[in-house]
Structures are given as structure tokens and as C-alpha cells.
Amino acid sequence: MATNSPERARVRLDGISSRAYEHPADRGALVALRSLRGFDEVFKRLSGLFNERALRLMFLSSAVRVNEQQFPEVYNYVRDAAYILDLDEVPELYIQMNPRPNAMAIGSHKPFLVMTTGLFDLLDAEEQRFVVGHEVGHVLSGHAVYRTMLLALIRLASRVAWIPLGYIGIRAIVTALEEWYRKSELSCDRAGVLASQNPEAAKRALMKLAGGSRLAEMNPDSFLEQAREYDRGGDARDSLIKLLSLTGQTHPFAVIRMAELTRWIDEGEYRRIIAGDYPRRDTDKDASVGQEARNAANSYRESWERTADPLVGTLRDVAGSAASAGGRLFDTVAERWKGAGSGGSAGRNGTDGNGGGPAAS
């Protein structure tokens, strides 16, 4: 398997909305939250409790900020990703000495990126380009505001763990947010492919996250077979173990990410977007909360139909009915809200979509 590809012209995706690449479950949650006027601002203020300025100063003093003189190739990857995904501002990137492979986007007012040396040394140039694009995707999607909510609730849960009912309630919310968080990672794997425009490099990067640098010892077909075997599971006990293993996990497992990204590419979504068929940012305000909720429900239903997991097969009909009911509920609430606003300002404040400004995770 080749590890590099020649430099080539990449297609700029003018005015692309993050809705173009977001997983339906991620997109549905974001559209619903953005439809609430003032929500982004409230949680941007909440993110200030984590002292974004102090965090940036910490990386400024203890890591290497890439520019034309320091890690110039990676600096170009950030500029390219911001150009291709049509960001207004190029985020800063810091390389941090840390053997653990990781990358992240931090901040909501002036987001910046961090990549550890463990990840930098693990990847080749095109794979690094994919990872940078992934993180820039988090910036474009504005994920930080909502991830801040998750971090705040996790901290709160630890403080009220001695109150059984309070902890159970918060833990339920955290579990739902963790599920959204995992879907947001699938979204930004797609953003990484759109920014790098090298699907094979993206797949290699995900394989390395699972098996390390010895790519010659790995095979993409066998790696995908692992995903199919994991999906099939064994009996209901294996299914339960898989569900429990997700507790506290903010990232999907590498084989699952590989399978999801491959399916998205094979279904033609990547080529369609590269060809120019994608929603624009100036249409974000028209996004329908009810429609995105139904899209999310349909996405889960389709994944349930694909899976061979015995437990999911048993619960499929019950969950499908619940998803349909949820879509109808969104429609009902939306219609009533519009009706209530026909004579005043309530409707304008409730059903407007708010695309929100760029933020980071």
C-alpha cells in the first residue's frame, strides 16, 4: 500500500456548510441546539470558566507553535484545510511533546489546534493532512460549545456522586452527550477526507491508530473484516459487553471509524461533495429541526438494519417505533411553536435556525 501521493490541486469547497459532512445524529443535535437563540453565547460564556486564555498561554509556553519557520509543512496543511473548507480564519496549531497519539481543537472564541509528537511521528505527510483536516472540521462545526457542556456535566457528576438520584440524572445526560460526541468524531473523519482529498491516507491513519506504525504488516480488507466481526458479535452477552465498553468513551473504536468512513465514501457522498453538490453556509438558517431529527432517527434505523448484533436485532422494532414517535413529536412542537408565534415574536425566536459562528472542540 502506498504511503504517499504526489502533490496535486485540491478542490476548494466554497461556502460549505458543516451540514455537508456531519453524521445525521451529530447534525440533528447541532441544528436543534443552534435553533435556540442565545444558546451558543451561553455556552461560550460557560467555556470561559475553563479559562481558554490560560490554556492557550500554557501551550504557547510549553509546545511549539507551527509557522513558516517551525514545522512549515504542517503549517501549510492547516492553511490548506482552512482554505478548502472556507474558514474565515486560519487556526493556530501547536506541536506538543507527548508520546500518546492525539490531536484536538480547543477554544470557542479563538480556537486553536494541538497535535502530539506521538501522532505526528506516527503519520506520514498525507495522513497528517487528514488529521489536520479532521480538527479543522471540528472548528467549522462549532463543536467546542457543546463539548464544553459535556465536560461541565462530567465535573458536576463527580461532585454530586454521593447524591444517588442527582448522579443518575446527570449520568443519563452525560451518556447521551457521549453518544453525540462519538458521532461528531465520525463527522470530522469525513471533514478530514474532504480537506485532504485523499481517502486512502485517511484509512491508513485510522489503521495506524489501532496498530501503530507497521503499516506493511496490516491489510485494509482484513481490518474492515474486524469491524464486521465486531458488529456480528457472539450472543447477547457480547452485545451487553459492547454497550458497557462505550461508557466514558468519547471516540468510536478505530475499526468502527474505518468502516463508517469507508461506507460514506463508497455510497458516493464524498464524490458528490467534491463535485460541488453540498449545502452552503448561507442556508444554515433554513435547516429544519424536525427534518434533521428524522434524518438522525433514519440513520440509526439504517444502522440497526445493517447490523447482525443479536441484541440490537431484538430491540430493533421497539427502538424504531420510538424513533418514529420522536420525529412526530418534533413536528408537533414545531407546528405549535409556529402557531404561537404567528401573532407575536415567539415564533421568530423559536424556529429560526442559527448557524452559529466557528468554534472548536
- Residue whose C-alpha is closest to residue 195's, from 131, 133, 142: 133
Any idea which of 84-93, 224-233, 247-256, 315-324 has the lowest mean pLDDT?
Answer: 315-324
CA dihedral 107, 112, 116, 120 (to 10 degrees): 150
Most confident range, picked from 34-43, 58-67, 245-254: 58-67
pLDDT at 361: 45
- C-alpha span between 118 and 100 (Å, rounded): 5
For range 171-196, the mean pLDDT: 82
For range 109-134, the mean pLDDT: 95
**Looking at the domain assignment, is residue 355 inside a domain?**
no
pLDDT at 252: 81
321: confidence class by pLDDT, cuts 50, 70, 90: very low
Q: Which amino acid is present at 10? A: R
**Looking at the domain assignment, is residue 1 inside a domain?**
no
**Looking at the domain assignment, is residue 352 inside a domain?**
no
- Residue whose C-alpha is closest to residue 126's, from 255, 254, 6, 271: 6
Any idea which of 143-147, 170-174, 321-325 has the lowest mean pLDDT?
Answer: 321-325
- C-alpha span between 106 and 143 (Å, rounded): 10
18 pLDDT more than 50: yes
337: confidence class by pLDDT, cuts 50, 70, 90: very low
pLDDT at 142: 81
**Looking at the domain assignment, is residue 94 inside a domain?**
yes
Helix (H) or strand (E) holding 172: helix 164-196
**88 touches 17 (CB < 8 A):** no
Active site residue 135: yes
For range 31-42, the mean pLDDT: 56
pLDDT at 67: 97
- C-alpha span between 211 and 117 (Å, rounded): 17
Q: What is the span of the domain harbouring residue 90?
A: 18-340
**Looking at the domain assignment, is residue 5 inside a domain?**
no
Q: Considering the entire predicted model, what is its pTM? A: 0.73
**Looking at the domain assignment, is residue 12 inside a domain?**
no
**Looking at the domain assignment, is residue 349 inside a domain?**
no
**167 touches 64 (CB < 8 A):** no
Q: Which three cell numbers stand for residue 263?
A: 461506507
Specify which residues 106 forms β-bridges with.
112
Helix (H, G, I), strand (E, B) or coil at 361: coil
152: confidence class by pLDDT, cuts 50, 70, 90: low
Q: Which three cell numbers stand for residue 277?
A: 453538490
pLDDT at 4: 46
Q: Is 281 exposed, middle or buried (0-12, 13-18, 19+ CB in 10 A)?
A: middle
CA dihedral 31, 36, 41, 47 (to 10 degrees): -60
pLDDT at 161: 54
Q: How many CB atoms lie within 10 A of CB 244?
A: 8
Quote the number of domains for the chain.
Answer: 1
**285 touches 353 (CB < 8 A):** yes
- C-alpha span between 181 and 179 (Å, rounded): 5
**Looking at the domain assignment, is residue 256 inside a domain?**
yes
Please report where in the chains the cell 501549510 appears, as a residue.
Answer: 76
Helix (H) or strand (E) holding 256: helix 254-266
Most confident range, picked from 39-53, 110-124, 342-356: 110-124
Which residues touch 77 (CB under 8 Å, ≥6 apart)?
Answer: 128, 129, 132, 133
The catalytic position among 22, 92, 127, 135 is 135
- C-alpha span between 287 and 201 (Å, rounded): 32
